[in-house]
Amino acid sequence: MNRRVVTFHYTLRDPAGRVLDTSAGADPIVYLEGAGQIIDGLDEQLRALAAGAKSRVQVPAARAYGERDPAQVQQIRRDQLPVDGELKIGDQFQTDRDQHAPIVTVVAIDGDHVTLDANHPLAGVDLTFDVEIVAARPATAPELAHGHAHGADGTGHCQ
């Protein structure tokens, strides 16, 4: 398979048509196909599109952020949380100082107990992307070896 580096703009909508995110007015996204840098369902569908193409792409929840997992919702004591100060429903925080620790959302507060949801906020949601492929080029050998794009033109360097 010849993998590409793809540069694209997008507008993300939920099933009700509300805009959740967009790259409009900002730099486009640059990614290496198959490197896990964007959700699988979007990566798969963009592979068929050439530079200049505009398309509406439907990504089912299972191929986006997955289905909601009830086991990811847990109640714990407030004093076990790594957060000082007042908590409100909707607050989000990382569960540990480790950069890979999960991000949780406060979904309920009952006295000294807090219910946390570790599901991605878009888990269980079918997504619609309006995309425009700005550019697509073959990935370079260093990009393939490193597993990520080195910029839109392939001349960037790793950090």
Answer yes or no: are the C-beta atoms of 88 and 75 closer than 8 Å: no
The answer to whether the 4-65+123-146 and 70-117 domains have the same CATH topology is: no
In which band, very low, low, confident or very high, does the pLDDT at 158 lie, cut at 50, 70 and 90?
low
What's the pLDDT tens digit per position in 138-156? Answer: 999 899 898 888 876 666 6
CB 130 within 8 A of CB 13: yes
CA distance 135 to 151: 11
Q: Fold for domain 70-117?
A: Thrombin, subunit H (2.40.10)
CA distance 77 to 101: 19
Are the C-beta atoms of 103 and 94 separated by less than 8 Å? yes
Give CA–CA dist 57/45, Å, rounded. 7
Architecture field, domain 4-65+123-146: Roll (3.10)
As a residue count, the chain comes to 159
Kindly tell me if the per-residue pLDDT of 43 is higher than 80: yes
Residue 75 host element (H or E): strand 73-77
Element (H, E) at 20: strand 19-22
Q: Quote the pTM value.
A: 0.82
Look at residue 76 in the predicted model and tell me its pLDDT: 94
Distance, CA of 33 to CA of 40 (rounded, Å): 10
Q: How confident is the model at residue 53 (pLDDT cuts 50, 70, 90)?
A: very high
Backbone angles phi, psi at 143, to 5 degrees: -65, -45
Structural domain boundaries in the chain: 4-65+123-146, 70-117
Q: What are the distances in angstroms from CA 138 to CA 2, 9, 23, 75?
A: 7, 19, 23, 48
